[in-house]
Amino acid sequence: IKTDEYDTCSTVSLLQFILKYGGFHSNGFVRVERILFAFTINGTFVPGRHLLCKRFTSLLHITAMDCPTGDDLLRICLDLLKKLSIRLPLSDFRALDQCKLATVMKETFEEICNTFPNRLHGESCLFSLRTFCSWVRNLEHYNLDSNPLDCVLHEGLRLFCDPLREGNRRKQVQSILDTSFKKNYG
């Protein structure tokens, strides 16, 4: 949230007032009770984001969590794949080695993220843990009976190529996906 020259912002000021005084003024004082505020804040490395003022953050209980490591991504992917295979009892998807598929998806995701750092050259995409989890979760919308790897590749292309505006960047993503899956699945 961008602040003005006095380091204030109307949204932050309202939240600060509610947290500090338990309400706000609007033709009298309006009390706000039994409400839990939970905020998520991305790092300041993302263009267009601004630091929150210290007057606001001094009122909060802050817990910080680092980005997941490669092992964390692997565990997340494996859990999501297991849940997906339970829902698809008769498909060819269950025949796949889920540990191998999770490893390939994790390595592919990491390579794409390394190739396209956050907001590179004004692109409006930011590949995150949400994108990675969506890659697995969205597979339940596919018919995984015929060729599940084609479905995994197609969903990867959809998630990673659609946000990119330039054609050569889309080709780079397609090349990364194709190379990674051909290397591991022939």
Q: Give the model confidence (pLDDT) of 24-73 as tens digits.
A: 888 899 998 887 776 666 554 455 556 666 777 777 776 666 667 889 88
Q: What is the pTM of this model?
A: 0.64
- Under 8 Å between Cβ of 118 and 126: yes
Q: What is the pLDDT of residues 150-160, one digit of tens each?
A: 889 999 999 98
Would you tell me how many other CB atoms lie within 10 Å of the CB of residue 174?
15
DSSP, collapsed to helix, strand or coil, labels residue 23 as strand
Task: Spell out the alpha helix ranges (H) of 43-121.
Answer: 54-57, 70-87, 98-115
Average pLDDT in the chain: 79
Cα–Cα dist 168/166, whole Å: 6
pLDDT tier, 120 (very low <50, low <70, confident <90, very high otherwise): very low
Which pLDDT value is given to residue 106?
A: 92
- Better-scored residue on pLDDT, 138 or 55: 138
Query: Is residue 9 scored above 90 in pLDDT?
Result: no
Residue 130 identity (one-letter amino acid): R
User: Backbone phi, then psi, for 118, in 5-degree steps?
Assistant: -55, 125
Confidence at 13, pLDDT banded by 50, 70, 90: confident
> Among 41-45, 116-120, 161-165, 166-170, where is mean pLDDT lowest?
41-45
β pairing state of 23-25 and 29-31: antiparallel
Q: Output the six-digit token pair for 176.
A: 């990364």
Segment of 71-80, 88-97, 139-148 carrying the highest mean pLDDT: 71-80
Cβ(159)–Cβ(134) below 8 Å: yes
Residue 143 is predicted with a pLDDT of 80
Calculate the alpha carbon distances from 133 to 7, 25, 53, 78, 129 in Å: 36, 42, 32, 11, 6
CA of 11: how far to CAs of 16, 38, 40, 140, in Å? Answer: 9, 15, 15, 38
Please tell me the distance from the alpha carbon of residue 33 to that of residue 18, in angstroms, as a whole number.
9
The two tokens of residue 87 are 């829902």
